Chain A
Amino acid sequence: MLAFLSDHLEAFAGGAVITLQYTAISCLLGAILAVPIALMRLSAKPGVFWPATAYVLFFRGTPLLAQIFLIYYGSGQFRHTLEAAGLWQLFREPWFCAILTLSLNTAAYSSEIFRGALQTIPRGEVEAAMALGLSPLQRLRFILFPRALAAAWPAYTNEIVYQVQATSLVSIITVMDITGVARVIASRNFAFYEAFITAAAFYLVIVYLIVHIAKRVEARLHAHLPAADSGGNRRVRA
């Protein structure tokens, strides 16, 4: 096992960088996409509400693996259309399909988190903002978003943790993330348990590092609220 580690640690570290890149980029794009989807899901207009609802239902109701195959392999069925549109260059690249699917997927889950957070904001605060004469955009910018961000953060960090693990699926379409590296090393050296245990250890470290950082950020987001008790737990209504 030690010899295995010293031989392949560098390859695994390279895989970890890819995993982190895919996580960061897809979470960023997903979060940007999630905000309008969450707002659409809160709309009373059926023409606005239903497209967003169908989107969320589709991406939350089907396996991520099916979505990846649908976009990566499925795009081949529309090759001529995509070539005509000049998009085939992108859709034939595994990295593009991986990022696209991961972002669309996490956007659906994140939008539900944001929607829930927006709904926890007391009605009185919105009314107070209206009474102050803030425009709808100003209400979003100064009242709703800051409040919703603090409320959504604990659930959103869970989503980031899931996203780290979800990126392992991109190894199936040949992206060399941690899992991809492990699979190649495993079959080349006939070192299956060594490779997958190493991969598991890498994911554990990354996940618990993120959980640790998220807790620090959470403390900052709630810094204006009464101080934590000795155990570091804050009893807050955020």
Chain B
Amino acid sequence: MLDLQGYGWLLWDGVQLTVVVSVGSMAGAIVVGLLAALAKLSPSRTRSFLVDAYTTIVRGIPELVLLLLVYYGIPTLVQDVAAAALGYRFVITINPFVAGIATITFIYGAFACEVFRGAYLNVPAGQHEAAAALGLNRMAVLSLVILPQVFRYALPGLGNVWMVLVKATALISIVQLPELMRNADVAARATRMPFTFFFAACLIYLAITLASMWVQARAEGWASRGVIGGRL
């Protein structure tokens, strides 16, 4: 029963790829989110308008549509533009792994941006002033004083982003990336036991969620270790 008719390993392979895709997208989302948050907080009107446009678009379009747009739309768009402008004719494709990570990074970068922005605004103004009074330059103020505190305030929000993001990676199965959901689908068709395999996949996602909740609680405790009564 537990080896799921010999398809247990297929699911395990899928779990590994799901984790790789999730971690890769989360890392990308943190970088994109941080840059977008800094752009939004900057006095430049153009930059904050661009970030507003970005978050507005991401909030209003389903993940599936964005994924299909990236996976099928962008290659054909590039081909058409190349054919019209340069007279080149060629066929390009994006592999599902890259398309998946790019889409999930793009979407969750916007959510991470909101989290970072809120966290940044939570850092008391006195911290900026004290750091400036110590004679630190702008980069040093940001990297030594402000960002460590931003990460502490952002941790609960980032934990939520991570948990939603892991579930969103299931969508990449639609473009045939052999992650957990796709492999469960393959096994379900081969054995004609769809309920068993999709239920197993659900339980694995649930286990990842529960493990993430546990890690998040530990991480928040760790990040607040220097603050008395500091558990947010």
How distant is B86 from chain A, measured CB to nearest CB, in Å?
18
Which of these, B60, B76, B194, contacts A204 with CB under 8 Å? B60
Residues from chain A with Cβ under 8 Å of B68 in the complex: 179, 182-183, 186, 192, 196
- The complex places the Cα of A58 from the Cα of B195 at a distance, in Å, of 15
Number of interface residues of B (CB under 8 A): 41
Asked if B198 contacts A66 (CB within 8 A), the reply is yes
Decide if A124 is an interface residue (CB 8 Å cutoff): no
B72–A168 contact, CB under 8 A?
no
**Count of interface residues, chain A, beta-carbon cutoff 8 Å:** 42
Query: Given the complex of chains A and B, what is the CA–CA distance between A172 and B170 in angstroms?
Result: 13
Q: Is A230 an interface residue (CB 8 A)?
A: no
In-complex Cβ contact of B202 among A62, A178, A186, A192 (8 A): A62
Task: State the Cβ distance, A208 to closest chain B Cβ, in Å.
Answer: 6
B133 to chain A minimum Cβ distance, whole angstroms, is: 34
Contacts of A183 in B (CB 8 A): 68
Do A61 and B198 have beta carbons less than 8 Å apart?
A: no
Contact of B60 among A61, A179, A190, A203 (CB under 8 A): A203
Does B220 sit within 8 A of A, measured CB to CB? Answer: no
- Given that A192-B76, A197-B73, A208-B60 are contacting pairs, would A66 and B202 also be in contact in the complex, using a CB cutoff of 8 Å? yes
Instruction: Name the one of A69, A70, A75, A168 contacting B62, with C-beta atoms under 8 angstroms.
Output: A168
If A58-B202, A73-B188, A165-B61 touch, does A65 touch B181 (CB 8 Å cutoff)?
yes
With both chains docked as a complex, state the minimum distance between the C-beta of B92 and any C-beta of chain A, in angstroms: 12
Contact A62 B188 (CB under 8 A): no
* Residue from B76, B77, B181, B192 within 8 A of A66 (CB atoms): B181
A179 pairs with B64, CB closer than 8 A: yes
Interface residues of A in 175-195 (CB under 8 A from B): 178-179, 182-183, 186, 190-193
A199 within 8 Å of B (CB atoms): yes
Q: How far is the CA of A203 from the CA of B58 in the complex (A)?
A: 11
Q: How far is the CA of A62 from the CA of B59 in the complex (A)?
A: 21
Task: Tell me whether B181 and A203 are in contact (CB under 8 A).
Answer: no
**Complex CA distance for A65 and B202, rounded to whole angstroms:** 10
A193-B73, A204-B57 known; A69+B65 contact, CB < 8 A: no
**Contact string against B for A residues 63-102, beta-carbon threshold 8 Å, 1 for contact and 0 otherwise:** 1111101100111111000000000000000000000000
Distance in Å: Cβ of A76 to nearest Cβ of chain B: 6
Q: Which of B3-11, B205-213, B224-232 interfaces with chain A?
A: B205-213
Q: Which residues of A contact B (CB under 8 A)?
A: 57-58, 61-67, 69-70, 73-78, 161, 164-166, 168-169, 171-172, 178-179, 182-183, 186, 190-193, 196-197, 199-200, 203-204, 207-208
User: Can you offer 7 A-B residue contacts whose CB atoms are under 8 A?
Assistant: A61-B209, A69-B185, A76-B194, A77-B194, A166-B62, A168-B65, A192-B75
